[in-house]
Amino acid sequence: MTIPNGPSSSILVRRISTIKWIFNPFKVLEERAEKYGESFTISKNISPLVVYFTNPQAIEQIFTASPELFDTNSANDILLPLLGEHSMILLGGAKHQRQRKLLMPPFHGDRLRTYGQLIHNVTDEVISQWQVGKPFSVRSSMQEISLQVILNAVFGIHEGQRFDELRKVLTTLLDSVGSPVSSLLLFFTSLQKDWGAWSPWGRFLRLKQQIDSLLITEIRERRQQADPNRDDILSLLLDARDEEGQSMTDEELRDELITLLFAGHETTASALSWALYWIDSLPEVKEKLLNELKTLPSDASFSDIARLPYLNAVCSETLRIYPIAITPFPRVVKVPMEIMGYQLEPGTLLLVSTYLTHQREDIYPEPKKFKPERFLERQFSPYEYLPFGGSNRRCIGAAFAMYEMKLVLATILTSCELKLANNRSIKPTRRGLTVAPPASMQMIVTELKKQEKPVLV
């Protein structure tokens, strides 16, 4: 069976098409799916052949296939300048498995619950800077929360010169490739020319070098001043050993820390911004959330909040309707294989479309509508709902991200009344390698709430 082809095109036409996809990826994907169906190639005459799948049956075949059938590192080279060659995301095979095992423990089980007070305190601190009646940038505030949380969780510090430097340089670096136009630097290697500190790519490289230097310095100081009482992520990773008793090198740790900082900052900030948008846009959603939060006892724990079903449904629907990551990481076929009757040759690049899968009418009726109730009415398989990717490449910080989203939203909703500065609907915009609400989205505090009981303790 032949996969429906995209149009054959010249190099110029393909580049124009890529630019359109960068600026409006969801629209381009929907147009392709409407024209070619649930599985399609990007173009007839490109190498390697790029194939999109959106059918859960196909996704299950891909996610459950042996990882050895795919090359999962070379297809992600676009991330190399940002994350570094030792990042788990850019590794394959045994190296990827080793790093994943070393990185997993801090993000699951009892460890996760230790971050509750941190998330609540940071959110409270950011809320205290909002003024009644004065508009504020939603994404900037959510970025401040997520950045402080991940820096605190990773390094166990919340102040000091190095902390302030890291926070400043990380924000500047992400902003340097954050707009749709500057995002072109990541997608077109021909633009990655260092013409000095004044050039876009030269500035990016120098900011990245600053981050590398700050992280290496912190890692080496921590090795020399080992403290068994510290339980931050860096301390846990310094003590982590693989099956052969080997620890991570300074360079491996640096690249994994950068990966955690980027992945744990931008994505969560965008998801929180979308959640606040939908909660304000739909009064019935806000009412149900507030009523659910009122059911919490006065001695409620952070775990009690995280288990609230409607709060969980709101977070889940937020990640469904506009997933922050457009696709899970690409996979390159290494041996001839068949997916849903389609014959795929070695070198074919497979892409699972998270967005198009989440927009399937047969799985999510009225997919354009924000309806948290879907997640109360049924449980979706990991091949129907995949905001964090899947199989052995699933995001290791998925549980952390959901936990943070729930606690931040609960803290905001019980602390103040918010409303959008204007009632215009907003559309997703390119934010580096992800998709996010526009930076222009603003909200206003209309009232600060006096809590009669310590809901979050």
Domain boundaries, given as residue ranges, for the chain? 11-448
pLDDT category at 13 given cuts 50, 70, 90 is low
Residue 262 reports pLDDT greater than 60: yes
Q: Report whether 184 contacts 19 (CB < 8 A).
A: yes
Q: Distance between CA atoms of 152 and 187, rounded to whole angstroms?
A: 31
Residue with tokens 């498995």: 97
Question: Residue 345 — φ and ψ, nearest 5°?
Answer: -95, 155
Q: Classify residue 196 by its DSSP letter.
A: -
Q: Provide mean pLDDT across the span 433-456.
A: 78
CATH: 3.10.110.10, 1.10.630.10, 3.40.30.10, 1.10.10.10. Which one for 11-448?
Answer: 1.10.630.10
Question: Residue 315 — φ and ψ, nearest 5°?
Answer: -65, -40
Q: How far is CA 413 from the centre of its chain?
A: 23
β-strand partners of 350: 51, 331
Q: What percent of the chain is predicted at pLDDT more than 70?
A: 94
So what's the pLDDT on residue 10?
Answer: 56
> Would you tell me how many other CB atoms lie within 10 Å of the CB of residue 170?
23
Q: Classify residue 195 by its DSSP letter.
A: -
Residue 209 reports pLDDT greater than 60: yes
Q: Say which range, 108-117, 316-325, 389-398, has the weakest mean pLDDT.
A: 108-117
pLDDT category at 453 given cuts 50, 70, 90 is very low
Q: How far is CA 178 from the centre of its chain?
A: 14
Q: Provide mean pLDDT across the span 49-55.
A: 91
Residue 11 reports pLDDT greater than 80: no
State whether the Cα torsion 221-223-229-232 is positive or negative. Answer: positive
So what's the pLDDT on residue 176?
Answer: 83
So what's the pLDDT on residue 46?
Answer: 63
CA angle 363, 368, 372 (to 5 degrees): 70
CA angle 93, 95, 97 (to 5 degrees): 70
Edge-first strand order for the sheet with 416-420 is 136-137, 442-448, 416-420
So what's the pLDDT on residue 457?
Answer: 46
Q: Provide mean pLDDT across the span 317-344.
A: 91
Nearest of 290, 336, 332 to residue 310 by alpha carbon = 290
Residue 146 reports pLDDT greater than 60: yes
> For 381, what's the count of Cα atoms within 13 Å in the CB-facing half-sphere?
12
| Helix, coil or strand: residue 237 | helix
| Nearby residues of 386 by Cβ (< 8 Å), 6 or more positions away | 59, 328, 352, 354, 357
Q: What angle do the packed helices 266-281 and 138-155 form, to 10 degrees?
A: 140
Residue 51 reports pLDDT greater than 70: yes
pLDDT category at 434 given cuts 50, 70, 90 is confident
The mean predicted confidence, pLDDT, of the chain is 88
So what's the pLDDT on residue 159?
Answer: 73
Beta-sheet strands, E only, within 245-334:
331-333
Beta-sheet strands, E only, within 305-374:
331-333, 337-339, 342-344, 349-352
Nearest of 325, 328, 331, 329 to residue 350 by alpha carbon = 331
Q: Say which range, 29-43, 361-375, 400-414, has the weakest mean pLDDT.
A: 29-43
Between residues 208 and 432, which one has the greater pLDDT?
A: 208
So what's the pLDDT on residue 454?
Answer: 44
So what's the pLDDT on residue 425?
Answer: 83
pLDDT category at 452 given cuts 50, 70, 90 is very low
Between residues 380 and 425, which one has the greater pLDDT?
A: 380
